[in-house]
Amino acid sequence: MNLRVVRSRRRQPAGARPPGDAGEAGGTPSAGASRTGQAAGQAGTFEAAWADERTLLVRKTLRCGQEVRYPGNVVVLGDVNAGARVVAGGDVIVVGALRGLAHAGAMDTPGAVVYAHRLQATQLRIGPTVARSPDRPGGAPDADRRSAAQGPEIARLRDGMVVIEPFPAPPGGGG
Amino acid sequence: MDGPTAIVITSGKGGVGKTTLTANLGTGLALLGKRTVLVDADIGLRNLDVVLGLENRIVFDIVDVVDGFCRLKQALIKDKRFEGLHLLPAAQTKDKSAVSPEQMERLCKELKQEFDVVLIDSPAGIEQGFRNAVAGADAAVIVTTPDVAAVRDADRIIGLLEAEGLGEPRLVVNRVRTDLVRRGEMMDVDDVVDILAVDLLGFVPEDERVVIATNRGEPAIMRQDSPAAQAMRDISRRLAGEAVPLAETAPPGFWSRLRRVLGLGAG
Ligand SMILES: Nc1ncnc2c1ncn2[C@@H]1O[C@H](COP(=O)(O)OP(=O)(O)O)[C@@H](O)[C@H]1O
Ligand SMILES: [Mg+2]
């Protein structure tokens, strides 16, 4: 793939957060958001970042109003609560409950996935595709959401649709 | 509780019971022998004094103190019923910008020289009033009701508290309606704890006697016939450092969670 070519050209995309910012994820969300948000239109820049294949480790629960944006992969060792969001150039891995918004492959990286220990997101984005949970009549409270999440799940794009499956795939299950 | 502590009672959302809990837990702590002062940090919308039935005694307020218009001692109101309980009232005519976070910090330091516990009643929201209320605090108690919007706001506040260095707040779930929980129409306490992932200090059932007592300007915590009062007495003791088991008043849901934790099958 041409990724390798891009990698050698540029390691650090303009406007991307340096890895050192990881510790204060969510501390100053707006600043980070505008910096990377501006670069989001420049697809080439982010391909370069993805080629770097760096991963940001967030060792805390992301709470409502907090946001992490990173050109590589993002791993959250905690929950991503409703009202929080993770936007990654690569994969989003949540070792906890994902209740907020996750956007993987934000720079249209092919093959990007979202994995969560408990996938309870009301909306997922992979690349340009948006998927939302089915509307519940009457907006039943939390009990619903909990029963919906049995185990770890992975979301990825198949034929332009977001498909969510148990992960690892159960033995004998098609997929 | 080792040494004097300033604790902020906060929530994000309004109307969840911050003022009610500040008044009642403060009374509870005073009854446990702690010298307690309640600080009304809801400047411009003061009502802690009304809930305590002390409105008619206010001469000076918190803004007068930070402006140097009076001494701290002059503004403190001694409660008429409970030995050791004091109130520093908010100003009614000023707005939140009348006090700065630095001034609040200094004020709390000064109060901790006189009192064992400083309980700060925070305004709703995440603006300057909130920042003032948390500025002098050593610890935080988050109040929420078991509904999605209040929990969302509580989550937001917990994130902001982390940024203020108040990283491990404790949680009170207020106005729990056991009947609705049983029918699956309301989140139960462990749903809330699951989402917010902080230590549970206790939960308080919905109880009309709280409203009735509050309207009379007397803390409900004294009532023997009220489940909410019992819950608030337990919470006061936990705040004072006693180990009071939660399970005594746990609604359905708590045990299923415990079973899950113990590996005894799904609840
Ligand atoms: N456990 C409870 N049961 C019934 N009513 C309650 C309870 N806790 C608080 N209330 C009522 O809810 C209303 C809002 O409480 P308040 O303490 O003023 O909230 P806040 O300070 O967070 O805005 C008041 O009318 C109060 O009496
Ligand atoms: Mg209030």
In a domain, B196, yes or no: yes
Q: Does B247 touch chain A (CB under 8 A)?
A: no
The torsion angles phi and psi of B209, rounded to 5 degrees, stand at: -65, -25
pLDDT of residue A150: 72
Instruction: Please determine, for residue A19, whether its predicted confidence score (pLDDT) is greater than 80.
Output: no
Mean of pLDDT values over B49-74 = 94
**Whole-number Å distance between alpha carbons of A175 and A171:** 10
Our answer on whether the CB atom of B211 is closer than 6 Å to any ligand 1 atom is yes
Chain B partners of A61 at a C-beta cutoff of 8 Å? 197
**Whole-number Å distance between alpha carbons of B133 and B3:** 20
**Whole-number Å distance between alpha carbons of B227 and B221:** 9
**Whole-number Å distance between alpha carbons of B90 and B65:** 10
Q: Does B266 touch chain A (CB under 8 A)?
A: no
Q: What is the CATH number of the domain that holds A136?
A: 2.160.20.70
How much is the pTM? 0.79
Instruction: Please determine, for residue B110, whether its predicted confidence score (pLDDT) is greater than 90.
Output: yes
Q: What kind and span of H or E run contains B120?
A: strand B117-121
pLDDT of residue A170: 80
pLDDT of residue A16: 37
Beta bridge partners of A73: A55
Q: What is the CATH number of the domain that holds B199?
A: 3.40.50.300
Q: What is the pLDDT of residues A37-85, one digit of tens each?
A: 333 333 333 343 444 578 999 999 999 999 999 999 999 999 999 999 9
In a domain, A1, yes or no: no
In a domain, A172, yes or no: no
Extract the runs of DSSP E, i.e. beta strands, from B65-116: 77-78, 85-88
Instruction: Please determine, for residue A149, whether its predicted confidence score (pLDDT) is greater than 70.
Output: no
Question: Which has more pLDDT, B36 or A29?
Answer: B36
**Whole-number Å distance between alpha carbons of A72 and B170:** 35
Number of domains in chain B: 1
Number of domains in chain A: 1
Mutate to test the pocket of ligand 1, among B20, B24, B49, B147 (most ligand atoms within 8 A of CB): B20
Q: Which of B163, B186, B194 sits opposite A27 (nearest CB)?
A: B163
Instruction: Please determine, for residue B52, whether its predicted confidence score (pLDDT) is greater than 50.
Output: yes
Q: Quote the domain boundaries for residue B32.
A: 5-262
Inter-CA distances, B112 with A54, B38, B63, B146, B248, Å = 48, 12, 18, 33, 33
In a domain, B267, yes or no: no
Chain B partners of A97 at a C-beta cutoff of 8 Å? 194
B260 band by pLDDT with thresholds 50, 70 and 90: very low
In a domain, B99, yes or no: yes
Q: Does B105 touch chain A (CB under 8 A)?
A: no
Our answer on whether the CB atom of B13 is closer than 6 Å to any ligand 1 atom is no
How many inter-chain contacts (A to B, CB under 8 Å) are there?
Answer: 46
Q: What token pair was written down for B252?
A: 């359905």
pLDDT of residue A135: 67
In a domain, A175, yes or no: no
pLDDT of residue A37: 32
Mean of pLDDT values over B241-252 = 69
State ipTM. 0.77
Q: Quote the domain boundaries for residue A82.
A: 8-166
Show the CA angle centred on residue B119, arms to residues B97 and B143, nearest 5°. 85
**Contact assignment for B156 to A64 by CB distance below 8 Å:** yes
B207 band by pLDDT with thresholds 50, 70 and 90: very high
- Identify residues whose C-beta is under 5 A from ligand 2, the ion: B 18-19
- Contacts of B124 by beta carbon, 8 Å cutoff, 6+ apart: B11, B12, B13, B14, B15, B18
**Contact assignment for A64 to B186 by CB distance below 8 Å:** no
A89 band by pLDDT with thresholds 50, 70 and 90: very high
pLDDT of residue B197: 93
Exposure class string for A72-83: b at 16+ Cβ within 10 A, else e: bbbbbebbbbbb
